[in-house]
Amino acid sequence: MRLLIVEDDEEASATMCRGLGEAGHQCVTAPDGASGLRAAQKGGFDVLVVDRMMPRMDGVTMVEELRRDGDNTPVLFLSALGEIEDRVAGLKAGGDDYLVKPYALAELVARVEALARRRETGSVQTQLRVGELEMDLIGRTVHRAGKDIDLQPREFQLLEFLMRHAGQSVTRTMLLEKVWEYHFDPQTNVIDVHISRLRSKIDKGFAKPMLQTVRGAGYRLEA
């Protein structure tokens, strides 16, 4: 697994990464909530381990920002604040689990792995939401700020993939494999055509565009 550790205590962060690395996991670290938020928004993490009390931006605020952006990556809060109201506040902010300091490293590893398993075996989503954009996977309908958006089947598939990876850069190769089921580059402009059509449907008439082109990387859907 690829994990993001957001912890301002360098020694604690290093100890966590060492223990998680020995368990076979890869760690990326951030020293405060603001840099942790930027790292998390790039995507690609299986679980986020977030300290509550940090400089620049606290962990609760960081997770609230991610949840508002539609990011549902599992979050394990770490904190010396162990009262019931503290744990409840962390969970209400969007946390999935809460571990009070001091803790045993073995328990940290076990909880992180449990969160990852829960994500893999969790209930099937029937609704996706990124900002004011909503998708009903059962009814096959899409709305932005209450406005109906009529999509062709392939456009619907493309938007679903982008919404499931909201805030992350998705490459052309990823789109070809996951949306078109091509495992080779057909050397056509099929992606450009569909992205252009999709952009005109979900962004036209709105002040803030959501579907962005990431130069040299691909595309990203932002809340």
DSSP conformation letters of 90-126: HHHTT-SEEEESS--HHHHHHHHHHHHHHHHHSPPP-
Q: Where are the domains of the chain?
A: 2-121, 127-221
What's the CATH number of domain 2-121, 3.40.50.2300, 3.40.50.300, 1.10.490.10, 3.40.630.30? 3.40.50.2300
Q: Where are the beta strands (DSSP E) in the chain?
A: 2-6, 26-30, 47-51, 75-79, 97-100, 127-130, 133-136, 141-144, 147-149, 211-214, 218-221
pLDDT at 120: 64
CATH of domain 127-221: 1.10.10.10
List the chain residues with pLDDT less than 70: 120-125
pLDDT at 36: 95
pLDDT at 121: 57
What are the C-alpha distances in Å from 114 to residues 75, 120, 205? 11, 10, 43
pLDDT at 168: 86
Tell me the backbone φ, ψ of residue 188, rounded to 5 degrees.
Answer: -125, 170
pLDDT at 200: 96
Rounded to whole angstroms, the Cα distance separating 67 from 76 reads 14
pLDDT at 52: 92
pLDDT at 66: 92
Rounded to whole angstroms, the Cα distance separating 13 from 54 reads 13
CA angle 175, 178, 182 (to 5 degrees): 80
pLDDT at 124: 52
